[in-house]
Chains A and B, each alone.
Chain A
Amino acid sequence: MTTRREFLQVTAATGSAFILGFNSETAFSQAGKATEVNAWIVVEPNDRVIIRYARSEMGQGSMTSAAQLVAEELECDWAKVRVEYAETNAQVLRKRPWGDMAAVGSRTIRQSQQYLRQAGATARTMLVSAAAQAWGVPEAECSAAGGVITHGPSKRKTSFGKVAAAAAKLEAPKEVKLKDPKEWKVIGKPIPRVDIPDTVMGRQRYGIDAQLPGMAYAAIAQCPVFGGRLKSANGAKIAGRRGVIQVIPMEDFVAVVADNWWRAKEALRDLPIEWEPGPAANSSSASIEQLLRAGLDSPTDVVSALKKGDAATAMTGAARVIEAEYFTPYLAHATLEPMGCTALIKDGRVDVWTSTQNAEATHAVAAAVAGVPLENVYVHRVQLGGGFGRRGGSQDFVRQGVAIAKVMPGTPVKLLWTREEDTQHDFYRPISLTRFKAGLDVAGRPVAWQSRVVAPSIIATLLKLPLKEGIDPQAVASFADQPYEIANVNVEYAQRNPHVPVGFWRTVGHSQNPFMRECFVDELAHAAGKDPYEYRRSLLSGTSKELLIMEATAVARGRVPRHCHHRGLRQLHRSSGGARRESGRRGGHQAPGARRRPGLRRQSRQRYRADAGQRRLHADGDVLGRHHHQGRARRAVEFPRLSHDAPARDAEGRGGAGAHRRLLGRHRRARSGVDRAGHLQRDLCRQRQARALVAAQQTGI
């Protein structure tokens, strides 16, 4: 008789194999014989262990790290571990045994590490119990290591594969003791990522790679003005073209479906489309900036995000007042794999293949659009060609893909966006305009600090959630929690929402706000005639993590270098992508972030993307003519060079103290890449600077 567990597995296996032929060698090859010990762990008779992964893999490496957490406590043989995605359909039927499936906000390890370790420990306990029962010996005399269970006194051995079926029948222990981190052998070790061999051999499958018999391909055009609608699309013009199957007009987009994507895209280009641009028809970059600028001085629709002392009074009594404005533009995510979604609706069942950071959200959107119960939806999990926050909350591509498939029941349709659509229809990093004002005493110490952030709210507009006291924490991140010891502080937030959609982009608020804050602190230091490093030290309490990081970096450098702080600021500027200082007292000091360097020009592709995002604001028809040829992309040749030695020269061949400073900037960049890879790369580990930054990270950021 087929047990429920086996049934589920066979169903899953059939689904995977039939649909994609994806990684057929890694599909549930022996599903019928394999035993699910718990939702996370399946053991095959040949001792192979399948560890299920619930969230998404997009290069951040947590598919491997999450499995490491399970394997550590399971005491299996890592060489025999295979990682497979948990299915969303089973997630629904089994009442969410895998918890949150979203890979967003750097949460995977932080939020799931406890229950993943517990899953491993629970399964190990059951496997050991099953062996002890078979031998008729006390459980306490048995232990597991490397997938082998040993009875200490008699030295008898058996393997996970041999006892898994019996173990699965046992009651799961209510409580398990987890290892002391000192005993970890798998967690925290630089284990190669499990997905990399498939990637470099060309076997990795992304959403774009879904392939089904009889599949049709859709290209879409969305209204070039956000909030606009489709007025008409004259399908007659492209009727009879080779391969074209159907034109599908929708409320805010039109799709052309053909027998391959290129034909669909080419036909779409020749399709006469009329748009009703809607309420934002006359918006422009200038009108958006005007809206934000008005927020800087508005007495209404402003909330206080941090209030300490009496900043206004202290300001009037200050010896000097410094003011500055900083601006950061909209930025697109620009995942290298454009948005897309393949969907098949047949006999009340919906199958979806898409690169998603939140498979459960994909599942829910697919069910809602198709109008079927959640139980009838299957989201097939694949690697993502980049995520960066784009593929989590919005799920716009799923809504479109399923809507198109609904028009063509029984036909699998693969929707794929062009790069142009991808750039012009993002949920951008919010635009932000911030004014700073600080009052310094005669010694140059700030006695008053005011900042007003004018920016859209992701939480209010994308998630449509109420804001607590009107504050979007991301908009004021690093302002409302600014670490400097200043007696009188007032941080205000003026929520202003232009019509351009915004979303979570990488670190979210931290990708631009610290750039602004720290450049302003630099300006204060300059005004005070102080070394910016020493100036910050004097403003940070001895226990703040910011001070620890600054000191760790300085110590790792062997000494406290002059102008060490510039490195961080310059890096912040780079990652802030096209941010600029707007106005205010500049004095003789140029903010380090504003410097231009050959080879790392400010017109990075981020800047370009931001521009492209803004171009579409003009409803003058010009937007469709814009092309990527007009922009620049950052290429390898412009990327800073990493050396194994501690070189005294930088990429431009400049030497001296400046070279070290510039190099440190590079290592900082390298580290963030390493983070995303999920483990430290050996060559970088050797670098002192990289170690320092890791140490700094461990202090809490």
Chain B
Amino acid sequence: MIKLTVNGMAREVDVEPEMPLLWVLRDVLEVKGPKFGCGIAQCGACTVHVNGDPVRSCSYPVSAAADKRVVTIEGLAQGGRPHPVQQAWIDHQVPQCGYCQGGQILVAVALLRRKPNPTDQDIDEAMTNICRCGTYARIRTAIHAAAKKPAKA
């Protein structure tokens, strides 16, 4: 059994240690926020936080998340209120289809923790997730907007 915390809840799973965290979350624990896009850590739609750091869960064995804190897009809000980054995403109407946006938001949150006032270059370097619809310009705008608000999480 592998123990991990998912969005604040202690969970135990009986799976192969090499099973990617993405599929443990999606198919075993039924947490659907992390998405499958490429399966090879290229697109970032599967991004989750493990102990606060963004990882591409499609290529991250669940055993590596043992006894760690996993946060998905569903677990970002505090007390039902959107995280400031989520709010910025709403304010600036960032998503189109939205499939990649959970991952984009989680990477942006981690970036802002590290660099509360990122430059465009910081954003470009951190935000390597792919958006097929092409919302990159609005993602930049929303990150700058979120940076101007006091970040909590």
Tell whether A pairs with B: yes
A residues sitting closer than 8 Å to B (CB atoms) are: 58-61, 192-193, 195-197, 199-206, 208-209, 211, 217, 242, 260-263, 334-338, 383-388, 416, 418-419, 605, 627-629, 633-637, 639-642, 666, 669-670, 672-673, 676-677, 679, 681, 683-684
Cβ–Cβ contact A195 & B98, under 8 A:
yes
Q: B128 is contacted by which of A200, A636, A681 (Cβ under 8 Å)?
A: A636
Q: Contacts of A193 on B, CB cut-off 8 Å?
A: 93
Q: How far is the CA of A549 from the CA of B40 in the complex (A)?
A: 43
B95 within 8 A of A: yes
Q: How far is the CA of A197 from the CA of B82 in the complex (A)?
A: 9
Q: Contacts of A261 on B, CB cut-off 8 Å?
A: 23, 26-27
B42 within 8 A of A: yes
B6 within 8 A of A: no
Q: Do most interface residues of chain B lie in helix, strand or loop, or is the interface mixed?
A: loop
CB distance from A505 to the nearest CB of B (A): 13
Cβ–Cβ contact B39 & A192, under 8 A:
no
Q: Contacts of B64 on A, CB cut-off 8 Å?
A: none
Q: How far is the CA of A637 from the CA of B119 in the complex (A)?
A: 12
Q: A58-B96, A336-B43 are in contact. List 16 more A-B contacts (CB 8 A).
A: A200-B73, A200-B98, A201-B74, A208-B35, A335-B99, A335-B132, A337-B37, A384-B97, A385-B35, A385-B99, A386-B132, A419-B40, A605-B130, A628-B38, A635-B130, A642-B141
Q: Contacts of A338 on B, CB cut-off 8 Å?
A: 36-37
Contact with A along B122-149 (1 / 0, CB 8 A): 0111011111111111111100000000
Q: Do most interface residues of chain A lie in helix, strand or loop, or is the interface mixed?
A: loop
Closest 3 pairs between A and B when the two form their complex, measured CB to CB: A59-B96, A385-B99, A59-B97
Cβ–Cβ contact A334 & B132, under 8 A:
yes
With A192-B90, A337-B35 already in contact, the answer to whether A202 and B42 are too (CB < 8 A) is: no
Q: How far is the CA of A669 from the CA of B73 in the complex (A)?
A: 28
A-B contact count (CB 8 A): 171
With A201-B86, A637-B124, A673-B133 already in contact, the answer to whether A418 and B92 are too (CB < 8 A) is: no
Query: Which residues 29-46 of B have a CB within 8 angstroms of A?
Result: 30, 32-33, 35-40, 42-43, 45
Cβ–Cβ contact B86 & A200, under 8 A:
yes
Closest partner residue, chain A, to B91 (CB atom)? A192
Closest partner residue, chain B, to A58 (CB atom)? B97
B19 within 8 A of A: yes
Q: Contacts of B77 on A, CB cut-off 8 Å?
A: 201
Cβ–Cβ contact B27 & A217, under 8 A:
yes
Q: Contacts of A205 on B, CB cut-off 8 Å?
A: 32
A-B contact pairs, 14 of them (CB 8 A): A192-B90, A196-B93, A202-B76, A204-B98, A208-B35, A217-B27, A335-B132, A338-B36, A386-B99, A386-B132, A642-B141, A672-B134, A673-B135, A677-B93
Cβ–Cβ contact A385 & B94, under 8 A:
no
CB distance from A609 to the nearest CB of B (A): 11
Q: Contacts of A260 on B, CB cut-off 8 Å?
A: 23, 27-28
Contact with A along B5-31 (1 / 0, CB 8 A): 000000000001001100100111010
Q: Contacts of A204 on B, CB cut-off 8 Å?
A: 98
Cβ–Cβ contact A337 & B95, under 8 A:
no
With A196-B93, A386-B99 already in contact, the answer to whether A211 and B130 are too (CB < 8 A) is: no
Closest partner residue, chain A, to B19 (CB atom)? A262
Cβ–Cβ contact A642 & B125, under 8 A:
no
Q: Contacts of A336 on B, CB cut-off 8 Å?
A: 35, 37, 43, 45, 97, 99-100, 130-132
Q: A681 is contacted by which of B86, B129, B138 (Cβ under 8 Å)?
A: B138
CB distance from A364 to the nearest CB of B (A): 24
CB distance from B20 to the nearest CB of A (A): 6
Contact with A along B80-111 (1 / 0, CB 8 A): 00100010011011111111111001000000
Cβ–Cβ contact B76 & A418, under 8 A:
no
Q: Contacts of A262 on B, CB cut-off 8 Å?
A: 19-20, 23, 27
Cβ–Cβ contact B86 & A337, under 8 A:
no
B67 within 8 A of A: no
Closest partner residue, chain B, to A414 (CB atom)? B27
Q: A196 is contacted by which of B16, B38, B95, B133 (Cβ under 8 Å)?
A: B95
Q: Which of A202, A334, A679 has the most CB of B within 10 A?
A: A202
CB distance from A650 to the nearest CB of B (A): 12
B residues sitting closer than 8 Å to A (CB atoms) are: 16, 19-20, 23, 26-28, 30, 32-33, 35-40, 42-43, 45, 72-74, 76-77, 82, 86, 89-90, 92-102, 105, 120, 123-125, 127-141
Q: How far is the CA of A635 from the CA of B101 in the complex (A)?
A: 14
Closest partner residue, chain B, to A260 (CB atom)? B27
Q: A201 is contacted by which of B26, B32, B73, B92 (Cβ under 8 Å)?
A: B73
Q: How far is the CA of A388 from the CA of B96 in the complex (A)?
A: 12
Q: How far is the CA of A211 from the CA of B31 in the complex (A)?
A: 10
Q: Contacts of A635 on B, CB cut-off 8 Å?
A: 127-128, 130
Q: How far is the CA of A216 from the CA of B10 in the complex (A)?
A: 25
With A636-B129, A637-B128 already in contact, the answer to whether A629 and B94 are too (CB < 8 A) is: no
CB distance from A332 to the nearest CB of B (A): 11
Q: Contacts of B131 on A, CB cut-off 8 Å?
A: 336, 636
With A262-B27, A336-B132, A386-B133 already in contact, the answer to whether A636 and B124 are too (CB < 8 A) is: yes
Q: How far is the CA of A399 from the CA of B49 in the complex (A)?
A: 37
Q: How far is the CA of A669 from the CA of B36 in the complex (A)?
A: 27
Q: Contacts of A670 on B, CB cut-off 8 Å?
A: 137
CB distance from B84 to the nearest CB of A (A): 12
Q: How far is the CA of A383 from the CA of B125 in the complex (A)?
A: 30
Cβ–Cβ contact A641 & B125, under 8 A:
no
Cβ–Cβ contact B134 & A673, under 8 A:
yes
Q: Contacts of B136 on A, CB cut-off 8 Å?
A: 636, 639
Q: Contacts of A199 on B, CB cut-off 8 Å?
A: 95, 98, 101
Q: B140 is contacted by which of A201, A242, A388, A641 (Cβ under 8 Å)?
A: A641
Cβ–Cβ contact B96 & A677, under 8 A:
yes
Closest partner residue, chain B, to A61 (CB atom)? B96
CB distance from B58 to the nearest CB of A (A): 9
Q: Contacts of B74 on A, CB cut-off 8 Å?
A: 201-203
With A336-B130, A337-B35, A673-B96 already in contact, the answer to whether A200 and B90 are too (CB < 8 A) is: yes
Q: Contacts of A384 on B, CB cut-off 8 Å?
A: 97
Q: How far is the CA of A627 from the CA of B120 in the complex (A)?
A: 31
With A200-B105, A211-B32, A637-B124 already in contact, the answer to whether A669 and B134 are too (CB < 8 A) is: yes
Q: How far is the CA of A286 from the CA of B102 in the complex (A)?
A: 42
Q: Contacts of B105 on A, CB cut-off 8 Å?
A: 200
Cβ–Cβ contact A681 & B93, under 8 A:
yes
Q: How far is the CA of A335 from the CA of B124 in the complex (A)?
A: 22
Q: How far is the CA of A167 from the CA of B129 in the complex (A)?
A: 51
CB distance from B89 to the nearest CB of A (A): 4
Q: How far is the CA of A192 from the CA of B89 in the complex (A)?
A: 11
Q: How far is the CA of A205 from the CA of B37 in the complex (A)?
A: 15
Cβ–Cβ contact B72 & A202, under 8 A:
yes
Closest partner residue, chain A, to B107 (CB atom)? A636
Q: How far is the CA of A384 from the CA of B37 in the complex (A)?
A: 13
Q: How far is the CA of A683 from the CA of B38 in the complex (A)?
A: 32
CB distance from A387 to the nearest CB of B (A): 8
Q: How far is the CA of A238 from the CA of B137 in the complex (A)?
A: 47
Cβ–Cβ contact A633 & B42, under 8 A:
yes
Cβ–Cβ contact A211 & B137, under 8 A:
no
Q: How far is the CA of A17 from the CA of B94 in the complex (A)?
A: 29
Q: Contacts of B127 on A, CB cut-off 8 Å?
A: 635-637
CB distance from B73 to the nearest CB of A (A): 3
Q: Contacts of B94 on A, CB cut-off 8 Å?
A: 196, 200
Q: How far is the CA of A205 from the CA of B135 in the complex (A)?
A: 20
